[in-house]
Amino acid sequence: MAKKTSGRGQRDLFVKVKTARGRKMSSTKWLQRQLNDPYVARARAEGYRGRAAFKIMDLDDQFRFLVPGARVVDLGCAPGGWLQVAVPRINALGEKAGKARGRIIGLDLQEVDPIPGAEIHVLDFMADGADAQVKDWLGGPADVVMSDMAAASSGHKQTDHLRIVALCEAAAELAFDVLDVGGTFVAKVLAGGAEGQLQTLLKQRFDKVSNVKPPSSRSDSSEKFVVARGYRGRLAPGGGDDPQDERDADTA
């Protein structure tokens, strides 16, 4: 174990992991990175289910979409770190006196351990009728749809990039169905050149589209997050506003 001194005058420990017999070098590097990642240590100390919790913190601190009273959908919510962050910020437990109480729905293909204040369901968000089911659980349209999903790694960088962009596009399609006008879509993508179509799609539907790499994202990772704000509503065939939006506005 080697020691290094930080610029703050404190001695930090750097853990060096030897490659054990039968263990791949890639596994050794991952383990060493985990042991020396300050966000991994901080997540453990603060009771979060993973370092990803700090990514949604960073994004919300910058864009302020997790506000009291918000109705939120978290796609691919396992292990639940984003839910843990969102619950107090939207006041899902009603602990902030005088503030509106929000609601958050977590969706995943696998069972996720319960989180107080969050409603978690096993559901394939790409299944037929998923949008109607989500709105039924929420009691109306969502204010925020967010996703930290990543497709299973194939080991081939370009293939993985295409897979996660496709997953993000599918998440965006659900968002178009369940978001209220003015809503926000947040999703992880991998930089790699194939996300142009997604960017074009989002710019057609939202007032502002930002691409951000939060401080808590590893510097050697190609991940970034798209934050699309000000949902305009579904587009009608041909690119115009959805007539249903106009009818809803007329009857509001």
Q: Say if residue 250 carries a ligand binding annotation.
A: no
Mean residue pLDDT across the chain:
82
Quote the CA–CA distance of 247 and 252 in Å, as a whole number: 9
Domains of the chain by residue range: 2-36, 50-251
Which of 64-73, 118-127, 151-160, 206-215 is least confident? 151-160
pLDDT tens, position by position, 156-191: 667 777 788 889 999 999 999 999 999 999 999 877
pLDDT of the residue at 36: 54
The CATH classification of domain 50-251, taken from the options 3.40.50.800, 3.40.50.720, 3.40.50.150, 2.60.40.150: 3.40.50.150
pLDDT of the residue at 159: 73
Catalytic residues: 188
Q: Say if residue 80 carries a ligand binding annotation.
A: yes
pLDDT of the residue at 189: 87
Q: What is the average per-residue pLDDT within 201-226?
A: 90
pLDDT tens, position by position, 239-251: 555 534 433 433 3
What band does 237 get if pLDDT is binned at 50, 70 and 90?
low
Q: What is the average per-residue pLDDT within 52-68?
A: 97
pLDDT of the residue at 190: 78
Neighbouring residues of 85: CB distance < 8 A, sequence distance ≥ 6: 48, 53, 56, 57, 60, 66
Q: What is the average per-residue pLDDT within 197-206?
A: 93
Which of 26-35, 70-79, 109-118 is least confident? 26-35
Q: Say if residue 220 carries a ligand binding annotation.
A: no
Q: Say if residue 124 carries a ligand binding annotation.
A: yes
